[in-house]
Chains A and B, each alone.
Chain A
Amino acid sequence: ETGVTQSPTHLIKTRGQQVTLRCSSQSGHNTVSWYQQALGQGPQFIFQYYREEENGRGNFPPRFSGLQFPNYSSELNVNALELDDSALYLCASSRHSGGDYEQYFGPGTRLTVT
């Protein structure tokens, strides 16, 4: 069984640029969630995708957007990068079986905005 993978591992961008982060979900999982983890804090929920549709969103501005593909892989796009967007971005997948909210995380992408 293949776990959750994310690419790239590290990324450095300049303020104002756009970035795309990628995630492949665990085999058998059809739901993907994205989180932002700033230093010293817990993961903050950005949004979730279920069967290619956004299924919930946290308190993040519209410049954070996402996609889920038919194979359940996903992308997180961030436009107009700001310095505060520097963080570890985590992707997690789960089976959407109602009541089972165990999410399995990838290793994350470390984004640095300069």
Chain B
Amino acid sequence: DQQVKQNSPSLSVQEGRISILNCDYTNSMFDYFLWYKKYPAEGPTFLISISSIKDKNEDGRFTVFLNKSAKHLSLHIVPSQPGDSAVYFCAASAPPGDMRFGAGTRLTVKP
């Protein structure tokens, strides 16, 4: 059961522009949402998170938006940099610790 979906397997943007990565979920019990970035041969690295009681969280160039009614979240990266090129995973968790991941979106930022 695919409770967290990332429908775009890849995204390519120009350096300096905005990158928008999208994620949809189906389980209304999820109460915490996270984005992870993964480089080849490394484990996923935590990027940013948002609680279900908020609709926006910002950390530097990264902003996560949550639309609970639509069961949708997005990650905005502004401005995009070549070093941001990686696979981005959306994840959602519900107590006691069940975290579900999407299949990932490969972001390529072109110089």
Q: Which residues of A contact B (CB under 8 A)?
A: 4, 31, 33, 35, 40-45, 48, 50, 55-56, 58, 90, 92, 99, 101-108
CB atoms of A45 and B98 under 8 A apart: yes
> Do the beta carbons of A56 and B98 come within 8 Å of each other?
yes
- Which of B54-62, B65-73, B100-108 forms part of the interface with chain A? B100-108
| B93 CB contacts on chain A under 8 angstroms | 101
Judge whether B97 and A102 touch: CB under 8 Å: no
Say yes or no: A55-B96 contact (C-beta < 8 A), given A99-B32, A108-B43. Answer: yes
Contacts of B43 in A (CB 8 A): 4, 90, 92, 105-108
B103 close to A42 (CB less than 8 A): yes
Query: Would you call B51 and A103 a contact (CB within 8 A)?
Result: no
Main SS of chain B's interface residues? strand
User: Is B75 among interface residues, defined by CB-CB distance under 8 A?
Assistant: no
Identify which of B89, B96, B97, B101 gathers the most chain A CB atoms within 10 Å of its CB. B97
Q: 16 more A-B contacts (CB under 8 A) besides A33-B99, A40-B103, A56-B96?
A: A35-B101, A42-B6, A45-B99, A48-B97, A48-B98, A50-B96, A50-B97, A55-B97, A90-B43, A90-B44, A101-B32, A101-B93, A102-B34, A105-B44, A106-B43, A107-B41
Contact in complex: A48, B96 (CB < 8 Å): yes
